[in-house]
Homo-oligomer: A and B are copies of this chain.
């Protein structure tokens, strides 16, 4: 059995490798709110246990065994988030910390019956795909909103969940998963963009925001 800390490290490696091909010590320390030296210790141990490969000074990557475990953790995290929002009435900005705990409860039966109870959802409240019990994720072609250009029309499909401030900002602007935006202009100076939702007046989004939104193109 792995500890909560070990599981959190494996999941963090998974996420950072997704984003940047390698997981580096400092980024792991930041994400896990711990110190770089603690991360190095943990990477060494997890490498010995066969969950990842650690190249000192050059970051870490999961092995197949680590990958499988990370996908189960992601599955559990996202199913619990879905439960909290859909059944218990949590806001999408209130679920992350609780799911961060619930994901470590160890019971195959629990997670599979929760999955069935929720109707085998494919996406969590932030639009992120939920791996099935075999760890398979439905592939999607999405990109970050901040790489879109004026003239594009896009649909928001996912939002980075970790910053609840962002989620509340989106609530305030009336944006959510599925919202459609026409991009009117992108300002070179600060990367901000003027966007117009389907029904409503145009407004501006900072690059800080657009960087954390995943979108797909739609026919305008």
Question: Which residues does A use to contact B, with CB under 8 Å?
Answer: 84, 87-90, 94, 97-98, 101-102, 105-107, 109-110, 113-114, 117
Contact A88 B114 (CB under 8 A): yes
Determine the chain B residues whose CB is within 8 A of the CB of A90 once the complex forms.
Answer: 109, 113
Cβ of A97: which chain B residues have Cβ within 8 Å of it?
107
Give Cα A75–Cα B102 distance, bound, in whole angstroms.
Answer: 17
Report Cα–Cα, A202/B89, bound state, in Å: 48
Contact, CB under 8 Å: B117 / A94: no
Q: Shortest CB–CB separation between residue A157 and chain B, in angstroms?
A: 27
Q: Report whether A98 and B110 are in contact in the complex, using a CB–CB cutoff of 8 Å.
A: yes
Contact B88 A98 (CB under 8 A): no
Q: Is the CB of A84 within 8 A of B110?
A: yes
Our pick among B84, B106, B113, B114 for the contact of A101 (Cβ within 8 Å) is B106
B98 to A113, Cβ gap below 8 A? no
Q: Taking CB as reference atom, which chain B residue is nearest A112? A: B88
Alpha-carbon distance between A114 and B89 when the two chains are bound, in angstroms? 10
B102 to A88, Cβ gap below 8 A?
no
Q: Which residues of B contact A94 (CB under 8 A)?
A: 109
Which are the 6 A-B pairs with shortest beta-carbon distances? A88-B113, A101-B105, A98-B107, A98-B110, A88-B117, A102-B105
Contacts of A113 in B (CB 8 A): 88-90
Contacts of A89 in B (CB 8 A): 113, 117
Minimum CB distance partner of A88 in chain B: B113
What is the CA–CA distance of A105 and B87 in the complex, to the nearest angstrom? Answer: 18
**Chain B nearest CB, measured from A118 CB (Å):** 10
Assembled-state Cα–Cα distance A90/B84 (Å)? 19
- Measured between C-beta atoms, what is the minimum distance from A117 to chain B in Å? 6
Contacts of A84 in B (CB 8 A): 110
Which chain B residues border A101 with CB–CB below 8 Å?
Answer: 105-107
Residue ID in chain B nearest A107 by CB atoms: B98
A214 nearest CB across to chain B (Å): 28
